[in-house]
Structure 1
Amino acid sequence: MHLLAKETSSYNEISVYEAGQLYGVLGKFRFLQFSDDAVQGAMDLNQPQRIVLEYPRAMIHLMEQNDSRFENVFVIGHGIGAIAGHYPDKLFTVAEIDAKVVELSRTYFNYRLDNVVTGDGRQLLTNEQTGRYDYIIVDAFTEKGTPFHLTTLDFYEMTKEKLDSQGSILINLMGKIKNDRLINAIHTTLGETYPFTKAFALPAESGSDIQNILVMGSSRDIGFQAQGMAGFIEVELDAGHIIRERAAGRPTSQDGS
């Protein structure tokens, strides 16, 4: 594994590597990761247009399956811009809080689109027109996980206002499909706003494995085809508490936690 770049910003320690294999697959890969060693985006240098990671491939399938004619998408969390870069002819607005991430995506991952706005994704989305978007994608992480203010009931209610009547939200999370209090709470909180929700994960040897978990919320039934989900399967998450905004400096929830 060869280090190409390492940058420290106000938000992250960011590294770009090249390697001859990724997750056990041989090839020539370039990838971006934060200080927690989680890969935030990857490129196959032999096939640069290929979407390498399973979770964006699954998200793309869900988007096309549920609204093949979508046009307007708001993304929180840029990474290397895999999904937005896959749709150069669609109207994407990408919010990224860390300007260094955007810089590295352009220098090392050939991101060329002029649709990234630097700033807090929630704040930027708040200022967007009501009913404008077909999809909202939340794919934002720090070394502590998904930022709290992107997991609350207030946030999900705001996202629904920004979607059109048939729009949907897709969220990429890291956690466990069993006994994960935060994952269960996020899914339950989302269900307070969106009448239809589904969760997906890659098969794992143990429910205690940390992995990508995709959660989708919509005002209509959610469809998918197994062969298009890049190995992700639908999973049932346990009920959790409702995550509300911080009160007196502490997060609040329906169960008092």
Structure 2
Amino acid sequence: MNYLNGNDDLELLLPFYGSKIVYKTFSSYQKIYVTERTEYEGKCGKFRMLQFSSNASQGVMNLELPNDLAVAYIRITVDLIDHYLPDFGKGYIIGHGIGTVSSYYSDKYVVTAEIDPVVVEVSKEYFGHSGNNVEIGDGQVLLREQKNHSQDFIFIDAFSSDEVPTQLTTEEFFTLTKEKLSDEGILIMNYIGKLKHDKLLHTLYSTISSIYPYVRVFAPNPKKISKQNIIFAASRSILEDYTPQEAVPIQIAGN
């Protein structure tokens, strides 16, 4: 999920963003909107977005370039996977959105867990998602069913509005991910927060570091004081120094 400036009154704010609603529906979990706009992240095009609120997008596609990765944090995530795991065999994603990462790796075996079946239906109808490896249910519960040491990466991109569900931030959960990852496997987590004065960011870093001996953190803009996507990468194996094209390594301890 990508963070946007705004609040939860999406329908009133859409004209401000130059957006329009293409489709809206309700599930047992949330309001679901498909919106379109002609500009995104400073680029022009025909951008279609999946949104639950005005301050976040759960997926973005440029309909003029449907195979491009429209969102920066997704490009950073893929950059990290391609660098650290260029020949990975299996991956697991918690949080479907429009299925961007699983579609990007359509030639690989990547399973996605999504708690809301309506989100999956909308991703197929309005964003052309054609992947079949989507499991409906609680991501933590479904991950438990995977064989130990079977996953080369686990990508956590699950949100309620713009917050990571609490159950996906605990020592118990991160211990579970470590059990399911292969020896050189990597946990990647998308977090939305501030680099300064963000208690949850420090708590997350401390919790992940208590489970994984090697943890790296990346942010697109280290000088930004408002919220942004912050990417964690963690492994039981050494993660060599690396700087993605659109992000920089961030030091959390003592920040």
TM-score (norm 1): 0.88
Give 1:247's aligned residue: none
Counterpart of 1:98, as a letter, is: D
Give 1:219's aligned residue: 236
The separation in 2 between residues aligned to 1:94 and 1:204, in whole angstroms, is 30
Moved over 2 A (4+): 204-207, 223-226
The separation in 2 between residues aligned to 1:13 and 1:35, in whole angstroms, is 8
Of 77, 81, 105 in structure 1, the residue corresponding to residue 123 of structure 2 is 105
- CA pair 217-29 structure 1, distance change in 2 beyond 3 A: same
SS in 2 for 1:47: coil
Give 1:12's aligned residue: 30
Q: Percent identity?
A: 35
The separation in 1 between residues aligned to 2:213 and 2:254, in whole angstroms, is 15
Give 1:31's aligned residue: 49
Q: Is this contact kept in 2: 1:172–1:215, CA < 8 A?
A: yes
Give 2:249's aligned residue: 234
Counterpart of 1:60, as a letter, is: V
The separation in 2 between residues aligned to 1:7 and 1:238, in whole angstroms, is 43
- CA pair 148-183 structure 1, distance change in 2 beyond 3 A: same
Map 1:85-234 → 2, pairs under 5 A: 85-143=103-161, 145-203=163-221, 205-207=223-225, 209-223=226-240, 225-226=242-243, 229-234=244-249
- Structure 1 unmatched ranges of 5 or more: 241-257
The separation in 1 between residues aligned to 2:90 and 2:115, in whole angstroms, is 20
Q: Which string of whole-angstrom CA distances, capped at 9 and with x for unpartnered residues, describes residues 131-180 of structure 1? A: 11000000000026000010000110111000111111000011011110
State the Cα distance separating 1:183 from its structure 2 match. Answer: 1.1
Q: Is this contact kept in 1: 2:208–2:234, CA < 8 A?
A: yes
The separation in 1 between residues aligned to 2:31 and 2:93, in whole angstroms, is 22
Q: Is this contact kept in 2: 1:29–1:43, CA < 8 A?
A: yes
The separation in 2 between residues aligned to 1:43 and 1:219, in whole angstroms, is 34
The separation in 2 between residues aligned to 1:61 and 1:223, in whole angstroms, is 14
Q: Is this contact kept in 2: 1:136–1:169, CA < 8 A?
A: yes
Give 1:42's aligned residue: 60
The separation in 1 between residues aligned to 2:254 and 2:148, in whole angstroms, is 30
- Structure 2 unmatched ranges of 5 or more: 1-18
Of 40, 58, 68 in structure 2, the residue corresponding to residue 22 of structure 1 is 40
Counterpart of 2:129, as a letter, is: Y
TM-score (norm 2): 0.89
Q: Is this contact kept in 1: 2:90–2:108, CA < 8 A?
A: yes
Give 1:243's aligned residue: none
Q: Is this contact kept in 1: 2:29–2:116, CA < 8 A?
A: yes
The separation in 1 between residues aligned to 2:112 and 2:181, in whole angstroms, is 15
- CA pair 153-222 structure 1, distance change in 2 beyond 3 A: same
Of the structure 1 ranges 11-20 and 78-87, higher mean CA displacement relative to structure 2 is found in: 11-20
State the Cα distance separating 1:37 from its structure 2 match. Answer: 2.9
